[in-house]
Amino acid sequence: MARRRKREEQEEPLPPEEGWVQWGGEAVWAVGETAGGAPYGLTREEFREAVERESPGAGWARAKAILRRALQERAGSAAAVEVGYVKRMGRGLSRDILAAEVEVVPDPGNLSGAYAVLLPCRDAIPGLDPRTRREAEVLARLALPFRVPDVLGAVPDGRQWILVRQFLDGIELDLRAGRQPSVRPWEVVGDVAAAIHGIDLAGFADLLPGYLTRREHGKAALEVFDDIEDAEARDAHAWLGEHLPPDAPAVFVHGDLLGQNILLWPGERPAVIDWEYALRGDPAYDLAIVTRGVRRPFQVDRGLDRLLEAYAAAGGLPLTAADVHFYELCLAAGWYREARSGKGPHPPDQERQRLRGILRRAQAARA
C-alpha cells in the first residue's frame, strides 16, 4: 500500500496539548463548568472524531470513521480499535477505494490487518446502494480457487451503504502482452473466467440479478441498438440477429473482468476484486469486457483465439469468436450512443468507426 499520499491523508488530526483537564479518569477539553464545578466538553476521542468529520479531507476521514465503527461492532466494546493512515488506492466506476492498516486489541477473530473502504463517488452510476449490499453478500458466499477478499460487510453511513472488505496485495494485471515478465494475460483471464463461470448458481439464486438463459442476456443486450438508425448500426443489428447466443442456461458472470480487477502477487494465486456487477448471464460477455472489440487483444496476433483456447483449457464453456463479437458489438453501440449524447471520451465519428471495425472482424470470423 506504499503510494504517494495527499497532504490531508498524511496527518491525523490531533487535539492540542493545552486546554485539557483530567476528570473522571479521562482527559476532557473543557468548554465550561456545571453549577457544581465539574468541567464539560469533549474527550480526546470525541475531539478527534469531530475534527475528522469536519476535515477538508472528508473522504479519508469518513473512511476512517466507517472502518473504526465497523470493526468496533465486530470486535465488541471491550476491544480497542486503532486505524492507521488512510491511503487513497484508486477509483472504480462508482467508488473511491481507500485503505488502512487496523490493529484490534484484544483481537477476538483475527480482525487485525489491511482493509479497503469503498466510498461512493459523486457521479456514481445509479443503483449503487443495492449493488453494494449485494456485493457484500456475494463476497460472503464465494469459494474459489483464487484469492477473493474477505468482507467485513456493507456498513450504513447516513443514506448510503459502504462496502468494507479485506485489502489484498497485488499488482493489476496488464492486458498488454510483455508488460509483466513471464505473464501471459490471456491465460490469466482464461483461468479466472473459467473458474467464475463454473460457480454453482444454486447458492446465489436468491441474490444475483440477470437472466435465465444466455439467449435472454443477448436479446437484452440488443436493446442498446434501439433508435440508432445509422447504416453501421443497422448492419450490426442484422448480424447480431443471425448470431444470437444459444438458448443455454445462464452462468455466474463477474460483469467487470478488467485487468484492474485481477491482482497478481508473487507466490499467490490471482486475486479478483470488485464484484459489484456480478450477474446471471452469458459467459461470452465477461470475455468481451476484456477484449473490447480491439483488433489485436492483448496486443498480440490471434489475441481473441488465444483467450478462447486458454479459457477452454481451464475448463470453460464452449465459446466461439462470434459469441464474443456479439457482446463487443453491443458494447460498441453503447459507447456510440453515449458519444452521440455528448458523453464518453471519444467523438461520435470515432465510436462509429469502432463499431464498423468490430462488425468487419465479426463477419470475417464467420467466413
State the CATH number of the domain containing residue 129.
Answer: 3.30.200.20
DSSP state of 299: G
Would residue 234 count as lying in a domain?
A: yes
Gap between the Cα atoms of 22 and 218, Å rounded: 68
Q: 218 and 321 in one domain?
A: yes
3-state secondary structure of 211: coil
Residue 12 confidence (pLDDT): 45
Helix, strand and coil percent figures for the chain, each rounded to 5: 40, 20, 40
Residues 6+ apart with CB under 8 A from 108: 75, 76, 79
Q: 162 and 23 in one domain?
A: yes
Read off the pTM: 0.83
Residue 344 confidence (pLDDT): 82
pLDDT in tens, 149-205: 999 999 999 889 999 999 998 999 999 999 998 999 999 999 999 999 999 999 999
Q: 283 and 252 in one domain?
A: yes
Residue 358 confidence (pLDDT): 97
Q: 191 and 138 in one domain?
A: no
192: left (phi over 0), alpha (psi -120 to 50) or beta: alpha
Would residue 1 count as lying in a domain?
A: no
Total Cβ atoms within 10 A of residue 122? 6
Instruction: Provide the β-strand partners of residue 150.
Output: none
Would residue 2 count as lying in a domain?
A: no
Gap between the Cα atoms of 166 and 179, Å rounded: 27
Residue 137 confidence (pLDDT): 97
Residue 31 confidence (pLDDT): 52
Domain of residue 74 covers: 7-166
| DSSP line for 73-90 | HHH-TTSEEEE---EEEE
pLDDT in tens, 107-137: 988 999 999 999 998 888 899 999 999 999 9
Q: 178 and 142 in one domain?
A: no
3-state secondary structure of 156: strand
Residues 6+ apart with CB under 8 A from 315: 194, 195, 198
Q: 307 and 350 in one domain?
A: yes
Q: 211 and 345 in one domain?
A: yes
Count CA atoms closer than 13 A to 287's CA, side-chain side: 32
Could you check whether the bond before residue 249 is cis, i.e. omega within 30 degrees of 0?
no
Domain count within the chain:
2
Residue 56 confidence (pLDDT): 41
Would residue 148 count as lying in a domain?
A: yes
Cell output for 340: 452521440
Cell output for 313: 483449457
Total Cβ atoms within 10 A of residue 331? 21
Low-confidence ranges of the chain (pLDDT < 70): 1-58, 366-367
Gap between the Cα atoms of 264 and 185, Å rounded: 11
